[in-house]
Amino acid sequence: MRTRASAAEPEPLPDPLTLTPQGRGALLDAVTRAGDRLMRNWPGHTRTASPTSWRKPDGTLVSVADHASQRILTTALANTVRNAVVISEENQRSHTRTASTVWFIDPLDGTRQYLAGSSDFAILLSAWTHGVPALSIAYFPADNILAEAYADTLTVHRCGPPPDHPAVHSVYGDVPGLREALAPDTEYLADRYESTRVLADIALGHALGAVVEMCGHYAWDLAAPIHLITAAGAFVTDQDGEPLRLRGPHVSARHVVAARDPGLHQTLLHALNSKGQP
């Protein structure tokens, strides 16, 4: 007897932790190729005019370089991870996607800095499953920094030596009382670098800690550097000391607090929440 064929079951979403070393290598290669593409037109080391740019509806800048990088990354994901659910900054339609595993892409984090010739820009790729990071890559091509987090393991592929005096940072504001809460010989920097670089530096051991005020941040800005920090065995939470769980583009935290050691992390949390009061 012939039976009616049942509808095909949807293919399961891929688990980033089941990717083969070859698959992870393909994504790492795509990120580095995207970086090479950005560097071809980076005003910081060429005499060419800045790439064509325009303002998005939210007022932030986007350029042809952002979209060129995005094409490289999304093509590599499509070829490497079947059924990957991608949420990319420069694809507005992707911002409503939901799944147990999502891949956050920021093809050019720091477009304004990039167009101004600053080296403070990055390419970020990060997969989170049920709000927990699984695989992340961050690349700062102008400074030749490339790091990868896979589950709880951090691999630094390219990086320069750490500074003589790693600092504590306050990013997008100077937290009242924070400077005074630190040991007298602690280097303290307010608004010296963008948040992505500061958080990555904590993971790399190039910074001691930071308090970062959320100023229009989305998950694609934070997913990769947060994972680098946790994979390095360092500490990162919201302003209440709670873990950050990213499942979609929006971030509910008001601050991100990160540090290399738990004692400093508690000092930063206390200074932030006491707002300069003894």
What is the C-alpha separation between 117 and 44, in angstroms, rounded? 4
User: Which alpha helices (DSSP H) does 41-172 contain, by range?
Assistant: 64-80, 111-115
108 annotated as a binding-site residue: yes
Sign of CA dihedral 230, 148, 216, 169: positive
Contacts of 240 (CB under 8 A, 6+ apart): none
Structure tokens at 253: 């935290």
Q: Kind and range of the H or E element at 266?
A: helix 262-274
221 annotated as a binding-site residue: yes
Residues 236-269 as b or e (16 or more Cβ within 10 Å = b):
bbbbeeeebebbbbebebebbbbbbeeebbebbb
How many CB atoms lie under 10 A from the CB of residue 12? 10
What is the C-alpha separation between 173 and 51, in angstroms, rounded? 30
109 annotated as a binding-site residue: yes
Structure tokens at 197: 């670089």
Q: Are the C-beta atoms of residues 220 and 89 closer than 8 Å to each other?
A: yes
What is the C-alpha separation between 272 and 258, in angstroms, rounded? 12
148 annotated as a binding-site residue: no
Q: Report the half-sphere exposure of 77 (CA within 13 A, side-chain side).
A: 27
Q: Are the C-beta atoms of residues 73 and 30 closer than 8 Å to each other?
A: yes
Residues annotated in a binding site for Mg(2+): 89, 106, 108-109, 221
Residues annotated in a binding site: 89, 106, 108-109, 221
